């Protein structure tokens, strides 16, 4: 019984707080005969759209980072960096935070021209009141769309055109965003895995050579990883691996 009473009290307090907060967020009721009925401001009218607008805005802000990261080179960069760490045999060096930070910095470097175009074509005219928000969204999405179209494979685009059951476009510029975005993600994943596979090959050769040598001379008690990992790190440092890798990744987006 005590537990039920506590639950009822908690529910009562929560409902009371909601009844107090929602009218405050919605704003004062409109003047006139409608203001005498407080229930109308909670169940209908323009004031009820304000809390739902806030909920929708918070939901979009939650999903925005994931959407933006999937529409930028971040996916390819992060996949390649994780493949490199696995190939070197270092389990947690560099750390995930370091790799994500490096990928974010390089993504900002690559997307800066696109951001300048969005600022010039959409954000600045919208701030000056020359265009509406829908036209600003259309103008702002066009530079991002053109950037993604440069790296979308025709096979991936054809797959999502078929799945979306849309008419066959005359050119790539006629593809809608609902086709371009998933096709771009698949193309970037494939490119990242291709680069990661190429990175694995020289380090895999070192692992195989070290394993065969240690086995042939009877060093069965010493794991080959203890010998191959320093050799791989030494090779990577001697050839200035980070400079070569980042330079190649940047040139792949040129």
Structure tokens given for 208: 């195989």
What are the residues whose beta carbons fall under 8 Å from the beta carbon of 27, sequence distance 6 or more? 47, 50
Beta carbons of 207 and 231 less than 8 angstroms apart: no
* 198 half-sphere exposure, CB direction, 13 A CA radius: 9
**pLDDT tens, position by position, for the chain (254 residues)?**
454 544 445 444 443 433 443 333 334 444 444 333 343 333 444 445 567 767 767 777 787 777 777 888 888 999 999 888 888 888 778 888 888 888 889 988 988 888 888 888 887 887 877 877 778 777 877 888 888 888 888 888 888 888 888 788 787 777 888 888 888 999 999 998 998 888 888 888 888 888 788 777 777 777 777 777 888 888 888 888 888 888 888 888 87
78 burial level (CB within 10 Å; 0-12, 13-18, 19+): buried
What pLDDT shows up at residue 53? 64
What pLDDT shows up at residue 156? 86
DSSP 173-192: GG--HHHHHHHHHHHHHHHH
What pLDDT shows up at residue 131? 78
Torsion of CA 110, 112, 118, 119, to 10 degrees: 170
Q: How many other CB atoms are there within 10 angstroms of residue 144's CB atom? A: 21
């Amino acid at each position: 019984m005590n537990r039920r009473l506590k639950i009822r009290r908690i529910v009562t307090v929560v409902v009371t707080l909601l009844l107090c907060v929602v009218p405050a967020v919605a704003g004062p009721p409109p003047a006139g005969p409608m203001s005498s009925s407080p229930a109308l401001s909670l169940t209908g009218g323009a004031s009820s759209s304000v809390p739902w607008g806030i909920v929708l805005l918070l939901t979009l802000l939650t999903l925005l980072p994931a959407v933006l990261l999937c529409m930028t080179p971040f996916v390819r960069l992060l996949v390649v960096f994780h493949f490199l760490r696995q190939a070197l045999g270092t389990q947690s060096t560099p750390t995930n935070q370091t790799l994500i930070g490096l990928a974010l910095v390089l993504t900002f470097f690559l997307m800066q021209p696109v951001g300048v175009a969005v600022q010039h074509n959409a954000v600045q005219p919208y701030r000056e009141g020359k265009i509406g928000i829908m036209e600003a969204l259309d103008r702002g999405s066009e530079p991002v769309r053109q950037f993604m179209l440069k790296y979308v494979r025709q096979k991936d685009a054809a797959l999502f055109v078929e799945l979306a059951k849309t008419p066959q476009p005359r050119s790539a510029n006629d593809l809608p965003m609902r086709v371009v975005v998933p096709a771009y993600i698949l193309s970037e994943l494939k490119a990242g895995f291709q680069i990661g596979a190429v990175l694995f090959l020289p380090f895999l050769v070192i692992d195989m050579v070290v394993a065969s040598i240690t086995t042939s001379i009877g060093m069965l008690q010493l794991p080959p990883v203890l010998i191959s990992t320093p050799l791989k790190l030494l090779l990577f440092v001697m050839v200035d691996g980070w400079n070569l890798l980042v330079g190649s990744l940047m040139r792949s987006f040129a």
